[in-house]
């Protein structure tokens, strides 16, 4: 329902615009929305953004795993 406004809402959220102002902005565009729906939408989108950001940070290192694993001996010392 709010996906067409996703980018603008996420920018407003990032700019610390209040939910009340976001709701007014949505209503001005003929998109009635409850406060709880807006909160849920923003929560889900923030989680997606955080997950994508984390994957972007980890992905380059993940590609190095096979070469790093080859550096380990087959029978490492028991104290490791």
Closest listed residue to residue 25, CA positions, set 44, 48, 7: 7
Decide if pLDDT at 79 tops 60. no
0.75 surpassed by pTM: no
Chain position carrying tokens 């997950």: 51
CA 18 – CA 7 distance, rounded (Å): 16
Residue 62 tokens, joined: 């993940």
Decide if pLDDT at 36 tops 70. yes
Q: Is the dihedral of CA 48, 53, 58, 59 positive or negative?
A: positive
Instruction: Check: CB of residue 38 under 8 Å from CB of residue 22.
Output: yes
Domain range list for the chain: 3-62
Decide if pLDDT at 42 tops 80. yes
**How many whole angstroms from its chain centre is CA 76?**
38
Question: What per-residue confidence (pLDDT) applies to 27?
Answer: 96
């Amino acid at each position: 329902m709010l996906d067409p406004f996703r980018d603008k809402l996420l920018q407003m959220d990032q700019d610390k615009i209040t939910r009340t102002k976001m709701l007014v902005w949505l209503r001005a565009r003929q998109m009635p929305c409850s406060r709880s729906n807006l909160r849920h939408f923003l929560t889900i989108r923030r989680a997606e953004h955080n997950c994508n950001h984390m994957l972007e940070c980890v992905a380059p290192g993940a590609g190095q795993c096979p070469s790093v694993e080859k550096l380990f001996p087959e029978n490492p010392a028991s104290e490791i």
